[in-house]
Amino acid sequence: MSKGEIMDNSSFIKMHRKLTEWEWYKNLPAFKLFTHLIIKANYQDSKYQGILIKRGEVLTGLIKLAEQTGLTQQQIKTAFKKLKLTNEITVKSTNRFSVIKLVNYNLYQDSKADSNKQTTNKQQTNNKQTTTSKEEKEIKEEKEKKEDFKKLVYENKEIENEVLEEFFDYWSEKNKDGSKMRFEKEKTFGISRRLKVWMKNKEKWNKSSGTATKNYSTKITPELSRALDFAKARTELGKKLGINPDNISKEQLEQLKNSLNNTLLT
């Protein structure tokens, strides 16, 4: 069978798995005759010697069916009785031939349902692909935005990389819902100006951190000691020490927590 024939709806039939639950499934003559009739039935209306043979009908005869199926004429007659009994087929006979109608042919071979199902599946696939493409696009744009910001920060080559890294990590941190980076929440953001302030505050911190560490006698709150999020812990410490939290590095945060030696900030 060629590829073209396979793709042609008239060259194959559908057979549902529920057929195994059919009452004549284990009756081999009835099952064989019934499936043979489905295969031979007209897929669309056509005429034979002036007689209209409709979709789902078969023009045949007893002898011909016996030759095609390998069943005896008696087996075919018995199978016909069973299939008519359960309203699977109707038979109109003449002295020359019989027209057998498969009552539920459209149910077995519903091309419209297939088309609708294929359309639905295609729409679902397209919707899924659209959603996936949108998510991928957003991720790509977010990544590019972060990379662009990093390039602008690292253009300030006169400043040590360690400082630039601290500055970048802080300002590229996402907010709670993950929709924006910290620098995006600012109305204006001049990197050079912000870096100068960052450096100035860092220098003040380095000069005063030793004194502040030695003289501070209050304790860290349990919430602060349990804080795993660097930004939250840094903000809390900055408030308690009266220092701009933007200028507290991870190393300084750990150093301060260790030097305070479990004393409580109130």
Ordered DSSP codes for the chain: --HHHHHSGGG-----GGGGGSTTTT-HHHHHHHHHHHHHS-SS-EEETTEEE-TTEEEE-HHHHHHHH---HHHHHHHHHHHHHTTSEEEEE-SS-EEEEETTHHHHT-HHHHHHHHHHHHHHHHHHHHHHHHHHHHHHHHHHHHHHHHHHHHT-TTS-HHHHHHHHHHHT-B-TTSSSBGGGGSS---HHHHHHHHHHHHHHHHHHHHHHHHH--SB--HHHHH---HHHHHHHHHHHHTS-GGG--HHHHHHHHHHHTTPBP-
Say yes or no to pLDDT of 53 above 50.
yes
pLDDT above 70 coverage of the chain, percent: 67
pLDDT in tens, 205-262: 777 665 444 343 334 444 434 433 555 666 667 666 767 766 667 677 677 666 654 4
Q: 260 burial class (0-12, 13-18, 19+ CB within 10 angstroms)?
A: buried
Angstrom distances, CA of residue 228 to CA of 72, 107, 254: 84, 63, 12
Residue showing tokens 């009785």: 81
pLDDT in tens, 138-155: 888 888 988 998 999 998
Residue showing tokens 């300002």: 171
Q: Kindly report the pTM of this predicted structure.
A: 0.41
Question: What are the tokens at 217?
Answer: 């006698």
pLDDT in tens, 86-118: 999 999 887 788 899 999 888 877 755 455 555
Close Cβ partners of 245 (under 8 Å, ≥ 6 residues apart): 234, 235, 236, 237, 238, 239
